[in-house]
Structure 1
Amino acid sequence: MLNRKLALPVAGLLAGVLLAGCGSSDDSDDKNTVKVAISAKLEAFAPLLVGMELGSYADQDLDVEIVTAAPSDAMVLLATGEVDAVFSAPSAAFFNAVSGGSPIKIVAPGMFPPENSRSGLWVSKDLAPGGTFDPEKLRGETVATAVGAGAPVSMVLEEELERSGVSAEDVKFQTMGATDILVALESGAVKAGWLSDPVWLEAEKSDDLTFAFGQPEDITMGAVLFGPTLLEKDRDKGARLLAGMRSAVADHLQGAYHDDPEVRAALIEQLEISEDQLDKLPELVFPPDLAYPAGLTDRYQATYARQKGVLVYSDPLPEDEVIDADLAK
């Protein structure tokens, strides 16, 4: 079953450390250094990684320092000012932290999926007779995901199931590692699982697995989060970081950007992958205006509210409490 208590200790930890007065990166002599936390070097973070390689942030007199941290740990680092920004997701832990007074907000969206992406729910042929997915067959089945309750992927899954007349209560969820999900699908241990980039590329090779559905093209499951340093202490630095990001997206990450020799070299270097591996991945969609979709935070909160024990507050937070859209203008 999903770990439905995941958000609660994180929110409690955040509430406690906020009063600790930990120092931020701006306490250092180098006022141009900005620390950004990511979970791993993924193409979803190309606005950061490619921008670093091609000088988008240097043009803003910024020296970007990457900190690798799990999403839950990154939230604590952000709230305490140990890192300045996080590329992560608007999880229940994020909303719980904001509701508890944590000075963190969404300032820009993550990536949007391309048409040819097959990142999403994959099912065994038992659930897709003749290659056609039948959502009704998910009743009573276990769906494996790499994240538990209170994560954006849970919203995508629940909304898609509801459109098909299947309630999330009719399905069991199990959390396991991203690559373990593929192994479980291939072995028959589970009949449905959410596969992300680049794991789904292996699923495409199997005659026993079928792509059911993925992330809708009009939503992003990621976000750029700023903490107290860039929201309050040094908004100019925050604006410059977003200006560098906007430049990286507009100048290097539009259309068939894999065909651009400079971008291609930057991705291969940063992601530590081969030319062949890059060729198999579809280009992602990055909005050059860095506008976060209106109403999306409401949808996430509505989903998390239905998941027992995930949110620690009752009334949904309005957009202006969780999004700072001014910095990206």
Structure 2
Amino acid sequence: MRRIRTTTVTVLTAVLALSAGCAAKEDTASPSAPRTIKAVPGCGKAAWTDPADRAPDRAPARCDKGTPAPAPLKKRRTLTVATGTLNAEYVAPLRLAIEKGEFKKEGLDVELKVLPTPEALPLLAKGDLDTLWAAPEAAVVNGINGGFPIRWVAGNFSPDPESKSGLWVRLKKGESASSASLKGSRMGTMIGKGSVIMYPMDSSFASHGADMNSVAFQQLGSADVLTALTGGGVDSAWLLDPVWRRVDGDKKYAFLGGQPQGEPLGGALYGPNLLRKDPDAGVAFLRAYTRTVNTYFRGDYKADKAFVTELAKLLKVDAKILTSVPSLRMDWEIRKGTTDRLQKSYRDAGVTKGAPLPEDRIVDRTLYAEAVGHRPGNAS
């Protein structure tokens, strides 16, 4: 709990500092003027889905391979992108876009920098960073509420239906997955209460007779979460890819739920540089990103052994580990209401204060809409 509290204090201190001197309280994140959106060859109706569609089997938006085509900026631009890790699979589209020269085709030189979200947020808000590849965590909501000119502008992925990354419980005698009670239990997790994972976790708790206040959280290192669950140190745990494979099929354990299918919970966050100062570069970045997804991450991309070998080398992970879990559903779109559901879970966890922010204070879909040629009015 000490780690969570320290993180919250760090972010709140940064918010106060920026609000006092570096940014005004008024909303300054959205582009200053409406932008012209042109049709994009290769990106038809399938390049946009209704944001209100939350069907688990919803097909993610896609353009043809190799599209949207590059539209190089008149002046070359260097962008610095912060991410919490370089080796996670959800970062693969960025890594591959750099490797394949997709950003360079747009006139962008993209540099990745490893930084945790609390440290990156004030830098993004001041313009010292251009993009944060993360999630609209509680720290982001608190930052925007305090004056940070930041928006969530693109999604990253949702899980495959076969994935069991998420909440696992050690069953008591006579319990099943449906009857397992979490009230009064101890839960092990690497993730603090300010994480977006609180949203699916909150739902799982409610389905099993518990809430945020009736479960004791124990924050553990990545190597300790599984050991604590199997050794009896905790009653439940949030197991990530590919760790959950270690208990899958063992009748002593049950999977209670993970990230909602068809609903990305992270992706690209922009600050004032790409939202207002240089939205052309902001669109160019998303155009390269969506082109990379359309070209290399369609469907079950892990079925291609040669691509898996290339991806494993790029991410510096074992190819066998990479293929031990299903392909992610790479998805650049943001679902309607996701930030409302996230904020509810943060309030339940006690990590945000004040009235919930409306979606348009956190989300901006206009830049990826422009990248794929979606005109406003065709869908919400």
Native 8 Å contact 2:193 2:346 kept in 1: yes
Residue 352 (structure 2) aligns with:
311
Matched with 2:133 is 87
Structure 1: stretches of 5+ with no match in the other structure: 22-29
Structure 1 residues 206-231: Cα deviation after superposition (integer angstroms, max 9, x where no partner): 66433232112032222310111111
**1:295 corresponds to which residue?**
337
Query: Which residue in the other structure is 1:48 paired with?
Result: 94
> What corresponds to 1:36 in structure 2?
81
Kept in 2, the 8 Å contact 1:140–1:171? The answer is yes
Write the distance in 2 (CA, Å) between the matches of 1:209 and 1:246.
38
Q: Report the Cα offset of residue 99 of structure 1.
A: 0.9
Superposed, which structure 2 residues align to 1:1-329 within 5 Å? 3=4, 6-17=7-18, 19-20=21-22, 31-40=76-85, 41-126=87-172, 129=175, 132-134=176-178, 136-204=180-248, 208-260=252-304, 263-287=307-331, 290-308=332-350, 310-312=351-353, 314-329=354-369
User: Structure 1 or 2: larger helix share?
Assistant: 1
What is the TM-score with the length of structure 2 in the denominator? 0.77
Paired amino acid for 2:78:
T
| SS in structure 2 of the partner of residue 183 of structure 1 | helix
List structure 1 runs of 4+ shifted beyond 4 angstroms: 205-208
Letter in 1 for 2:102: S
Instruction: Judge which range, 1-10 or 41-50, deviates more.
Output: 1-10
Contact in 2 for aligned 1:57/1:241 (Cα 8 Å): yes
* Letter paired with 1:48: L
Which runs of 5 or more residues in structure 2 are unaligned? Answer: 24-74, 370-380
Task: Output one character per residue of 1:17-37: Cα deviation in whole Å (capped at 9) or x when no partner.
Answer: 46359xxxxxxxx94211111
Kept in 2, the 8 Å contact 1:186–1:208? The answer is no
Distance 1:171 1:181 in 2: 16
Task: Give the equivalent residue in structure 2 for 1:24.
Answer: none
CA contact (8 A) 2:92 2:315 kept: no
Task: Report if aligned partners of 2:166, 2:239 keep a CA contact under 8 Å in 1.
Answer: yes
Deviations 1:293-327 (A, max 9, x none): 0001011111212223x214x22111111111111
Q: What is the CA distance between 1:250 and its match in structure 2?
A: 1.0
Aligned length: 315
C-alpha distance in 2, partners of 1:98/1:266? Answer: 38
Rate the CA distance shift 1:205–1:99 in 2: closer, same or farther, 3 A: same
Residue deviations 1:103-155, cap 9 Å, x none? Answer: 111001121010111110112232774xx324552111111121221211112
Alpha-carbon contact 1:238-1:327 (below 8 Å) kept = yes
SS in 2 for 1:184: helix
Give me the whole-angstrom Cα distance separating, in 2, the residues matched to 1:102 and 1:229.
12
Question: What CA deviation, in whole Å up to 9, does each residue of 1:143-177 have, x standing for no partner?
Answer: 11212212111121111222344333222112222
Structure 1 stretch displaced more, 7-16 or 99-108: 7-16
Q: Which amino acid aligns with 2:213?
A: E
Distance 1:223 1:68 in 2: 15
CA contact (8 A) 2:213 2:349 kept: no
User: Does the aligned pair in 1 maintain the 2:154–2:268 contact within 8 Å?
Assistant: yes
Q: 1:274 to 1:303 in 2, by over 3 A?
A: closer
Q: Which letter maps to 1:316? A: P
Q: 3-state DSSP class of the match of 2:152?
A: strand
